[in-house]
Amino acid sequence: YSYYELNNDSGEANNRQVTIDKQQKTNNNHMEFKHSVPVQLRFNDADALGHVNNSVYFSFYDLGKTEYFKTINGGVVPKEIDIVVAHAEVDFIMPVFLTDEIAVQTMVSEIGNKSFELMQRIIDTKNNVVKCRCKTVMVGFDFKNNCSKPISDEWRNAISAYEGVKF
């Protein structure tokens, strides 16, 4: 995909379009996002600058996570969720305005013993421009004993079946 690079000093677009090869592993561009949820923008999502406030993006990503988990579990969120967010990092690429039509796309890129990496991005659905991307590390968690635990076979199998990848 392509995006406009920001000037590191001023933060303004420098009008240099950057195109990233889909095979490149960095920045989740090589991945196929099978899951997409449209996001309805609300008036209160905008800040004084007229674009969606950066704190609101996390609500969009939470919506994407919830719907992804429902999808891989046959339409329901399991009664006992045994995963938690351990780390999240976001790259704001281009602003989202209230007139934009956006969706959040979600996928799992890798699963380890006690964690998995959830990749998400917000796209403009009219032109598929990536506006923002997020990497979240989800960790298996035992709430009874208050400690991390291995990712269950149920999660691993559901994710593998949906993504079409053996983890």
- Three-state SS string over 11-80 comes to CCEEEEEEECCCCCCHHHCCCCCCEEEEECCCHHHECCCCEECHHHHHHHHHHHHHHHHHHHCCCCCCCC
Low-confidence stretches of the chain (pLDDT < 70) are 1-31, 75-79
pLDDT, position 9: 47
pLDDT, position 80: 73
SS3 breakdown of the chain: % helix, strand, coil, rounded to 5?
20, 40, 40
pLDDT, position 5: 43
pLDDT, position 3: 41
pLDDT, position 77: 66
pLDDT, position 76: 64
Which candidate, 38, 104, 35, places its Cα nearest to that of 69?
A: 35
Instruction: Based on DSSP, count helices (H) and strands (E) in the chain, helices before strands.
Output: 2, 8
pLDDT, position 81: 79
Q: How far is the C-alpha of 64 from the C-alpha of 97, rounded, in Å?
A: 19
pLDDT, position 167: 81
Cβ pair 65, 107 in contact under 8 A: no
